[in-house]
Structure 1
Amino acid sequence: MKLQRSGFVAGIALTATIALTGCGSDNEAPEASGGASAAPGSCVSGSLTAQGSTAQKNAMDEWIKGYNAQCSGAQIDYQGTGSGAGIEAFIAGTADFAGSDSALKEDEQPQADAKCVGGKALNLPMVIGPIAVVYNVQGVDGLQLSSSTLAKIFSGTITKWNDAAIAAENSGAKLPDATIETVHRSDESGTTDNFTKYLSKTAEADWKFSNAKAWKAPGGTGAAKSDGVATKVKSTPNTISYVELSFAENSDLQKAKIKNGAGEFVELSGESAGKTFENATVKGTEGDLALELDYATTTPGAYPIVLVTYEIACSKGSAKAKEIQSFLKYTSSTAGQTALAELGYAPLPETLRAKVETSVASIS
């Protein structure tokens, strides 16, 4: 299935120059040489078992393919089981590292740290995964929605597509007198956590369910994993949901324009998603790179609903430390990041990529 990726290719130049607050680069980034299969550093033979975020599954498949092209003695098994399941597996010791669409929570961090003998569990941002608001409404193109209207739709306050609030944001649109069917993730998901965090930060008066990996609002229809959400929306008229852009593109779903803090209804693209990271800050310390995003960004042209996929890995003490470090050196390299542009993701801003690379290099 062909992706609409021109926006993301254009976005690479922008994201390469974004300076994140508190995330200045300490070293020069290496120039990409060859293709994405050129893994930097020495290969380490051995096997890795990992699971978690479905948002990064397409990226992980590409990374594994590229890494194995250089390191034929390595075996990496990554299963897209959902962010919650991935963190649980890491804590249980059944995953060497985990993928998560949100950083470890306060109650999860000490449990994860306990698996790292003499070290701690690091949150390593590895890819920007913009979240698209997708819908299936016949005859309605270029739907525009504010966070307040979105919150009312997903909390069940707005139930019809021709509701006055939706009509006010879509002058001239032929909105049907049809019941809205909201679709949410039925499994625990970092995508849900980030989407509901956006609602709780920008539409506090209309969203009373805070944020979490598990969906809390009443009503709606649950679908398992990102591909399940995309399939449900694609096959069911009058639905609306949230899903990572790569899945929206693969299923050729309609994507709504979202109103940002500057009052603009912005179309999702690589460039618009990258602009939201201009005001991101690093919360973590000692190699941990958990980020705080500004969902109410007033940066002109910024698309405000984004997530960062993290790899959760031990700084020290893992029995597979060398194997993990070797693979993550590749995923955080310029070559590994550049490979994401054609998959519906946006590469890490260069200053952040360099920080991740430095943190990965310290794994032992």
Structure 2
Amino acid sequence: MKFNTFGRAAAVTAIAALALTGCAANEGGATGGDDSENASDLTGTLVGSGASSQQSAQEAWTAAFQDANPDVSVEYDPAGSGAGRDTFLAGGSAFAGSDRAFNDEEVAAGGFGACTTDGIVEIPAYVSPIAVIFNLDGITSLNLDASTIASIFTGDITTWNDEAIASQNPDADLPDTAITAVHRQDDSGTTENFTEYLYAAAPDVWTEEPDGVWPLDGGEAASQTSGVLDAVTGGTGTIGYADASRAGDLGTVSVKVGDEYVPYSAEAAAAIIDASPVVEGRGEGDLALDIDRTTEEAGVYPVVLVSYLIGCEEYEDPASAELVKSYFSYIVSDEGQQVAADAAGSAPISSDLFDKATAAIELIK
């Protein structure tokens, strides 16, 4: 996808003050001074909470947005997707970041705290592969199919030189080291996306329905993305799963899709999004996706995390509505998506998804 600061940003000028200030800032203009016709008049504090997977992107978005809107403070707590949804439901934040959309039952129940109606917007604004990460001396990459990954996390495969692993990696010098599988302890959208992949792609092995709470006993539990990374990094023979932007120097798995093994990449993750339909029966601004985890299309990486921005269609506080509308508009713009790609390695949304996201944001009032 081609990025153009003046492309999509121009399309959201009417709903985002940042569309002007961002372009001016690139030209050395938008300093917030009263003499600039492009100076932002946004003021106030915008509070959000949710997915720790979005942390790097949110830090970059916040810095850029506040630079262009110097009288605005954006506070994002990366407490986890479940905590973010709960905080939004309780009215403790103006928006949530979540690695899954609200499900049908939650949407039907309504009661979103800061909203005057039960109408919400859910925008898949952060798309990233989930890396299967491991720490094994001398080995930086492995090929694994879905059944093998599932068997490792169920505890059915217990050593690294197991035949199921060795047969897919004939050139690797695999030790008889015991495997320690690390999972999230907290309610996590990353876990829900990961278990959704296992449930769809390895149904004979992984029989637990997808859930944000890890469904099995055994293994090692760690809180939030940082906790999983620390546990995998600090151990030997450890394996876990995390947003790929945080994989660092850990070993990573190429996942079997069709007849090939596909390493994670932003491009491979993005390829699955445009092929996935919007969940039926939702409101006009609700862009929850039904992701096809069993695709055999070449070059597609199916262990993908789609993280949402969630807000109200109608806010009790008009000032909150204005801030959320402007912030969301910046995030989905070319500039916002490029900032996230640079900071977190995420996959920029497509032009088609941008058009849908812009229409959803226009509903906010």
TM-score, scaled relative to structure 2 = 0.87
Q: Secondary structure at the residue paired with 1:138? A: coil
- Per the TM alignment, residue 122 of structure 1 is displaced from its structure 2 partner at its CA by 2.0
Q: Secondary structure at the residue paired with 1:292? A: coil
Aligned counterpart, 1:245:
244
- Per the TM alignment, residue 142 of structure 1 is displaced from its structure 2 partner at its CA by 2.2
- Per the TM alignment, residue 273 of structure 1 is displaced from its structure 2 partner at its CA by 1.6
In 1: Cα distance, 2:25 partner to 2:259 partner = 40
Measured at CA, do residues 179 and 257 of structure 1 come closer, stay the same or move farther in structure 2, by a change above 3 Å?
A: same
Aligned counterpart, 1:141:
140
Aligned counterpart, 1:274:
270
Aligned counterpart, 2:59:
61
Aligned counterpart, 1:347:
348
Contact map agreement 1:295 1:304 (CA 8 A) in 2: yes
- Per the TM alignment, residue 280 of structure 1 is displaced from its structure 2 partner at its CA by 1.1
Matched, 1:363 2:364: yes
Residue identity opposite 1:280 in structure 2:
S
Aligned counterpart, 1:104:
102
Q: Secondary structure at the residue paired with 1:297? A: coil
> Where do 1:1-364 residues align within 5 Å?
12-13=1-2, 33=23, 43-115=41-113, 116-249=115-248, 252-260=249-257, 262-283=258-279, 284-319=282-317, 320-342=320-342, 343-364=344-365
Residue identity opposite 1:199 in structure 2:
L
Aligned length: 340
Residue identity opposite 1:159 in structure 2:
T
Residue identity opposite 2:309 in structure 1:
E
Contact map agreement 1:257 1:265 (CA 8 A) in 2: yes
Measured at CA, do residues 130 and 287 of structure 1 come closer, stay the same or move farther in structure 2, by a change above 3 Å?
A: same
In 2: Cα distance, 1:104 partner to 1:41 partner = 36
Q: Which runs of 5+ in 2 are unaligned?
A: 14-18, 33-37
In 1: Cα distance, 2:24 partner to 2:101 partner = 32
Measured at CA, do residues 318 and 101 of structure 1 come closer, stay the same or move farther in structure 2, by a change above 3 Å?
A: farther
- Per the TM alignment, residue 173 of structure 1 is displaced from its structure 2 partner at its CA by 1.4
Residue identity opposite 2:359 in structure 1:
T
In 1: Cα distance, 2:350 partner to 2:116 partner = 31
Contact map agreement 1:131 1:243 (CA 8 A) in 2: yes
Contact map agreement 2:84 2:98 (CA 8 A) in 1: yes
Contact map agreement 1:42 1:326 (CA 8 A) in 2: no
- Aligned Cα RMSD in Å? 2.5
Identity %: 35
Q: Which runs of 5+ in 1 are unaligned?
A: 1-11, 17-24
- Per the TM alignment, residue 49 of structure 1 is displaced from its structure 2 partner at its CA by 1.3
Residue identity opposite 1:255 in structure 2:
T
Measured at CA, do residues 112 and 47 of structure 1 come closer, stay the same or move farther in structure 2, by a change above 3 Å?
A: farther
In 2: Cα distance, 1:28 partner to 1:347 partner = 17
- Per the TM alignment, residue 35 of structure 1 is displaced from its structure 2 partner at its CA by 6.8
Residue identity opposite 2:271 in structure 1:
K
Which of 1 and 2 has higher RCO (CA within 8 Å, sep 6+)?
Answer: 1
Listed one character per residue, the Cα deviations across residues 113-165 of structure 1 (whole Å, up to 9, x for unaligned) are 54321351221111102100000111223201111001110011111111111
Q: Secondary structure at the residue paired with 1:307? A: strand
Q: Secondary structure at the residue paired with 2:309? A: strand
TM-score, scaled relative to structure 1 = 0.87
Listed one character per residue, the Cα deviations across residues 180-234 of structure 1 (whole Å, up to 9, x for unaligned) are 0000011110000000000001100000211111101221101111111111111
